[in-house]
Amino acid sequence: MDYSEIEQLYAISNRKINEVDTTFHRYLYSLINWNNRIIGIKGGGGVGKTTLVLQHIKESFPDRSKVLYVRLDNMWFKTHSLAELVEYHYTHGGTHVFLDEIHHLRNWADYIKSFYDDYNDLHVVYTGSSMLGIARHEADLGRRQRVYTLHCMSFREYLNFEGYAVGDAINLETLLADHIVIASRICSNKKILPLFANYLNHGCYPFYKEDGDSFHERLHGVVLHVLENDLPQVEDISYTTIEKTKRMLMILAERVPFMPKMAELFRELETNRENGMRMLSLLAKAGLLALYSREVVNLNSLNKPDKIYLDNPNLMYCLTAHIDKGTLRETFFYNQLHNIAEVLLPKQGDFMIDRKYLFEVGGKGKNFDQIKDEPQSFLAVDDIETGHFNRIPLWMFGLLY
């Protein structure tokens, strides 16, 4: 291989790095230990993995000859191998390789392992779908790599992205203890409730600023790309199963929060329990569904969940015309808390957080009747700017990451 064969890849790499905007960083950016030799970043479609990686390169590598960014869905790889490319880059002075969309590479874990073993001072960062079966390769890669997950944007990040500086993330204990002071500070110079409504509609994915009124159309395209392109790269799955998986998603979107009668759902999809549970698991791994139970859900050996939500509020607006306000509130609360804590279905109330804090979620008329005798119980209340005692504004649970 000579430079003429890969010149275009280096040109694309440099152009992408030069074009990326570095004025806003996702929460994960500062949490990654970029000194690790092997770093994996996984997440759902459209959450900002590519931008995060390009920002790091732009801000950390003044000498671009040391670094190569490449997408694994590039047609170049139809006639060339990644191993050839990495060998060329390393032997010509390269020290870092950033591999985007690695789920498009068959046997990707074998490549990562060999790069670690064969190049003593090469650093590799890869991004991939949240469906990547990284756990299956833990025995080979566990000691070699550090894996991070990038979730959808929190309400705090949305506010910062919109130019309303609200500060760093707040841990849950601080929020519960000091929510009145925190809310008063944040609401002193802005109308928070309209901003919260905007976030629920379109603020979970950073590309909303690029698309404006066509955001939901683009999000629909992201969902289709995940199911039609990413899913077959990760799983051995037939076209028929992909179509049934899409249909399952649309059925559940109309019925959330779905209290599963799985046999009826599987009959409607004309599939058996094994395939049906597999499809459900894949939709959850893809960041499209949230599966909610009395015990921690294991997506690799899935039992019937007790409740099913769409993963985030934006997906509700994208996939269904019927938005139930109560479901929208619960979807937001589950999404924001699930990304930072253990969330279980309690016997009383709506959500149990870290097996310690009990929450009911509702509108401003919500009271403690259902959980009045329970210790460490709280209300997450919509349509209020500031709270009182254990009544906490719902929007504040978007400040946790």
Residue 140 scores a pLDDT above 70: no
Average of per-residue pLDDT across 47-64:
97
Q: How far apart are CA 262 and CA 393, in angstroms?
A: 35
Q: Where does the pLDDT of residue 133 fall: very low under 50, low under 70, confident under 90, or very high at 90 and above? A: confident
Give 242-261 pLDDT, tens digit per residue: 999 999 999 999 998 988 78
- As a residue count, the chain comes to 401
Q: How confident is the model at residue 304 (pLDDT cuts 50, 70, 90)?
A: confident
Residues 6+ away with beta carbon under 8 Å from 395: 155, 192, 193, 196, 382
Backbone angles phi, psi at 359, to 5 degrees: -130, 140
Residue 302 pLDDT class (50, 70, 90 cuts): low
Instruction: Give the start-end residues of each E strand in 94-186.
Output: 96-100, 123-129, 145-150
Question: What pLDDT does 301 receive?
Answer: 61
Strand order in the sheet with 357-362: 343-344, 351-353, 357-362, 377-381, 391-393
Per-residue pLDDT at 138 exceeds 60: no
How is residue 104 annotated by DSSP?
G
Under 8 Å between Cβ of 6 and 88: yes
pLDDT at residue 396 tops 60: yes
Start-end of H helices in 214-272: 215-225, 231-234, 239-255, 262-268
pTM attached to this predicted model: 0.92
Mean per-residue pLDDT over the chain, rounded: 94
Name the DSSP class of 388: B
